């Protein structure tokens, strides 16, 4: 597959207005497939009706030519679609939201995000996000380079944990530079499938969008695509079929820990997008299968928590470090695995 020009940034500029832009190159193994079905398989949370509306508006292009929804995509085709999108500023509506604030002063705030909460508005999530709640709570926040008020960094919807939010332009610039220079501290708790051979180590490998599954990120060992990504890990507990890790980010790429762990052969527990919602290690016995499914029920999302956050305070130059407790869903699953591992030892 050729270079991907994927973009889904709300508010991306186009000569005729504001749109969501998507662009894909069909790989060489692509068999003929209707363009509407092709797009449905590659764009998260898009509806068939939305694709049909784009087709009627003449907003689906193959090799720079407008096509109808029944066009058959072939190997090597470049497929683009523009979805009409409300201007990003219209999405930035203050909405009441309970925020778990860990620390706050005049220039920044640190909060603990629950799993299931989207950080900022985007495709399929136009309201009810953390950013909508921040705007209600703080009214005025500086905008980052993506026009997102206050946000210095983000974590995935189904990842829980700590975020720092800037309340002034100066704090935004100072904190963003720390993340760029890799001087901030970010540690995550991750429950992964399998038993690590080593007690600690480092995963290096550029991360970019998966050439076939557009909803995943993947590792390019030869650095031919993607961006440099480095994750340091340390084993905290071993449960036989799963392992609890502490992962420290040196870089901050989209899905970095999720992609790096899958690359290592240790997909995050119950990470549906990366295949971790299947039984990847263990036996096929009914009791074990039921046990794992019970764990999935206790923890209905990927087992990842942003536990520790550290940075230099932009104004006082003091080293700040915050730690958040393990959320109840992850702690419950860990307790189940501890009991299971102990029971196996006693057998």
Note the pLDDT tens digit of each residue in 68-88.
999 999 999 999 888 765 555
Task: Give the pLDDT score at 87.
Answer: 57
Tokens (6 digits) for 13: 């500029």
Q: Would the CA dihedral through 171, 229, 247, 273 be positive or negative?
A: positive
Percent with pLDDT over 90 in the chain:
67
pLDDT of 175 over the 60 cut: yes
* Average pLDDT score, the chain: 88
pLDDT of 188 over the 90 cut: yes
Task: Give the pLDDT score at 90.
Answer: 61
pLDDT of 195 over the 60 cut: yes
Is residue 156 annotated as part of the catalytic site, yes or no? yes
Q: Cβ of 55: how many Cβ atoms within 10 Å?
A: 20
The three-point CA angle 233-236-241 to 5° equals 95
Task: Give the pLDDT score at 181.
Answer: 92
- pLDDT top residue among 265 and 87: 265
Mean pLDDT confidence for 49-61: 87
Mean pLDDT confidence for 48-59: 87
Mean pLDDT confidence for 213-233: 88
Task: Give the pLDDT score at 57.
Answer: 83
Task: Give the pLDDT score at 328.
Answer: 97
Give tens-digit pLDDT for 99-153: 999 999 999 999 999 999 999 887 666 788 999 999 999 978 998 877 788 999 9
Cα 338 to Cα 4, 87, 196, 234, distances in angstroms: 43, 49, 17, 18
pLDDT of 329 over the 60 cut: yes
* Given 77, 156, 158, 277, the catalytic residue: 156
Task: Give the pLDDT score at 9.
Answer: 30
Task: Give the pLDDT score at 8.
Answer: 31
Between β-strands 33-34 and 78-84, what pairing exists: parallel, antiparallel or unpaired? unpaired
Nearest to 199 by CA among 242, 241, 246, 240: 246
Task: Give the pLDDT score at 1.
Answer: 32
Task: Give the pLDDT score at 91.
Answer: 67
Rg over alpha carbons for the chain, rounded to the nearest Å, is 22
- pLDDT top residue among 157 and 12: 157
pLDDT of 11 over the 50 cut: no
Between β-strands 319-323 and 230-238, what pairing exists: parallel, antiparallel or unpaired? unpaired
pLDDT of 17 over the 90 cut: no
**What domains lie within the chain, and their CATH numbers?**
12-85 (3.10.290.10), 89-180 (3.30.2350.10), 185-346 (3.30.2350.10)
Mean pLDDT confidence for 36-44: 89
C-alpha to C-alpha distance for 347 and 342, rounded to whole angstroms: 9
Tokens (6 digits) for 76: 């090597």
pLDDT of 50 over the 90 cut: no
Predicted TM-score (pTM) of this structure: 0.77
């Amino acid at each position: 597959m050729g270079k991907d020009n994927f973009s889904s940034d709300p508010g991306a500029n186009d000569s005729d207005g504001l749109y969501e832009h998507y662009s894909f190159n069909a790989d060489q193994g692509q068999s003929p497939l209707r363009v509407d079905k092709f797009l449905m398989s590659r764009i998260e949370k898009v509806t068939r009706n939305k694709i049909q509306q784009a087709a009627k508006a003449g907003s689906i292009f193959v090799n720079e030519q407008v096509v109808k929804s029944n066009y058959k995509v072939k190997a090597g085709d470049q497929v683009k679609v523009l979805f009409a999108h409300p201007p990003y500023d219209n999405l930035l509506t203050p909405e009441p939201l309970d925020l778990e604030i860990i620390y706050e002063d005049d220039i920044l705030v640190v909060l603990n995000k629950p799993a299931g909460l989207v950080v900022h508005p985007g495709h399929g999530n136009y309201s009810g996000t953390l950013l909508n709640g921040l705007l209600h709570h703080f009214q005025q926040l500086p905008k980052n380079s993506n026009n997102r008020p206050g946000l210095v960094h983000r974590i995935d919807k189904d990842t829980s944990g700590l975020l720092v939010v800037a309340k002034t332009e100066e704090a935004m610039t100072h904190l963003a530079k720390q993340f760029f220079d890799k001087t901030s501290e970010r540690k995550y708790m991750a429950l992964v499938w399998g038993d690590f051979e080593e007690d600690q180590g480092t995963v290096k490998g550029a991360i970019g969008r998966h050439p076939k599954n557009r909803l995943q990120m993947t590792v390019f060992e030869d650095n031919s695509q993607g961006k440099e990504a480095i994750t340091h890990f340390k084993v905290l507990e071993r449960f036989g079929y799963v392992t609890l890790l502490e992962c420290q980010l040196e870089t901050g790429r989209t899905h970095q820990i999720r992609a790096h762990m899958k690359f290592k052969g240790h997909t995050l527990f119950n990470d549906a997008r990366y295949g971790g919602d299947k039984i990847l290690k263990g036996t096929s016995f009914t009791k074990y299968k039921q046990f794992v499914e019970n764990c999935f029920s206790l923890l209905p999302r990927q087992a990842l928590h942003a536990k520790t956050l550290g940075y230099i305070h932009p104004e006082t130059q003091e080293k700040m470090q915050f730690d958040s407790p393990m959320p109840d869903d992850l702690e419950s699953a860990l307790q189940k695995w501890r009991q299971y591992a102990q029971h196996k030892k006693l057998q």
